[in-house]
């Protein structure tokens, strides 16, 4: 930025009543937000995969914690997961005789999303991975909706293999719908370059 431009901006700050301390705060805040935005654009997939690993890992380690007598923390985690999964005992896996925090279908959904995210992390370095269309994503929901819906209305009882299969189809479909779109947005250039104040 040239000196004349800088003087005009400083004059606008002074005329609008923004003092030097506020200017310094604005610069620090803007620089911090730009840094965070750049970091997220570069590392968003690692963040998503890390959240999924943590979510799945806690669900699997909770019964291990019960087995080792850590009932307080394990119970707290188990109850938090109830907000995200129905945790039906008949539809869940067990470790050491204790129930995992996710039902079989939810475990399949999140695990397949994680595996798809890891696959995208490898493939995106070599080529662009296209997103599936919204109607293909809806089609990926249909088997899960039919399996869960017919069971909900008492028409039949689902089994472990159908829950795992339909959860995996939906999880992969969700990952193929969302993750490439996020990748494309992260690769796009920002709309305007930020103005740096010296």
Residue from 161, 198, 194 nearest 30 by CA:
194
Q: Which domain holds residue 179?
A: 3-187
Q: Which residues of 99-133 are buried (b: 16+ CB within 10 A; e: fewer)?
A: bbbbbbbbbbbbbbbbbbbeebeeebeeeeeebbe
Residue 180 lies in a domain: yes
Residue 33 lies in a domain: yes
- Token pair of 24, please? 């310094």
Residue 146 lies in a domain: yes
- Token pair of 82, please? 């109830």
**Which region, left, alpha or beta, applies to residue 46 given φ > 0 means left and ψ of -120 to 50 means alpha?**
alpha
Residue 197 lies in a domain: no
Residue 196 lies in a domain: no
Sign of the torsion angle spanned by Cα atoms 77, 79, 82, 85:
positive
What Rg value do the Cα atoms of the chain yield, rounded? 24
Residue 171 lies in a domain: yes
Q: What is the pLDDT along the chain (198 residues), one digit of tens a residue?
A: 455 555 666 666 666 767 777 777 878 888 888 898 888 888 999 999 999 999 999 999 999 999 999 999 999 999 999 999 999 999 999 999 999 999 999 999 999 999 999 999 999 888 888 999 999 999 999 999 999 999 989 999 999 999 999 999 999 999 999 999 999 888 876 655 455 444
Residue 41 lies in a domain: yes
What is residue 197's predicted lDDT score, i.e. its pLDDT? 46
What is residue 133's predicted lDDT score, i.e. its pLDDT? 96
Contact between residue 112 and residue 167 where contact means Cβ atoms under 8 Å apart: yes
* DSSP result, 53-91: HHHHHHHHHHHHHHHTT-HHHHHHHHHHHTTT----GGG
What is residue 30's predicted lDDT score, i.e. its pLDDT? 85
């Amino acid at each position: 930025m040239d000196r004349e431009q800088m003087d005009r901006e400083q004059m606008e700050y002074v005329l609008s009543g923004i003092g030097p301390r506020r200017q310094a705060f604005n610069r620090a805040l803007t620089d911090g937000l730009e840094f965070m935005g750049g970091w997220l654009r570069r590392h968003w997939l690692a963040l998503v995969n890390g959240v999924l690993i943590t979510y799945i890992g806690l669900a699997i380690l909770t019964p291990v914690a019960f087995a080792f007598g850590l009932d307080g923390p394990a119970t707290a985690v188990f109850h938090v997961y109830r907000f995200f999964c129905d945790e039906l005992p008949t539809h869940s896996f067990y470790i050491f005789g204790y129930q995992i925090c996710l039902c079989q279908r939810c475990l399949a959904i999140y695990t397949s999303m994680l595996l798809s995210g890891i696959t995208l992390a490898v493939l995106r370095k070599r080529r662009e991975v296209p997103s599936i269309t919204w109607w293909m994503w809806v089609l990926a929901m249909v088997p899960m909706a039919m399996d869960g819906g017919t069971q909900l209305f008492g028409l039949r009882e689902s089994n472990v293999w159908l829950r795992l299969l339909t959860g995996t189809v939906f999880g992969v479909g969700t990952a193929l719908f969302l993750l490439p779109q996020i990748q494309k947005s992260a690769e796009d250039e920002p709309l305007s370059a930020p103005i740096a104040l010296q």
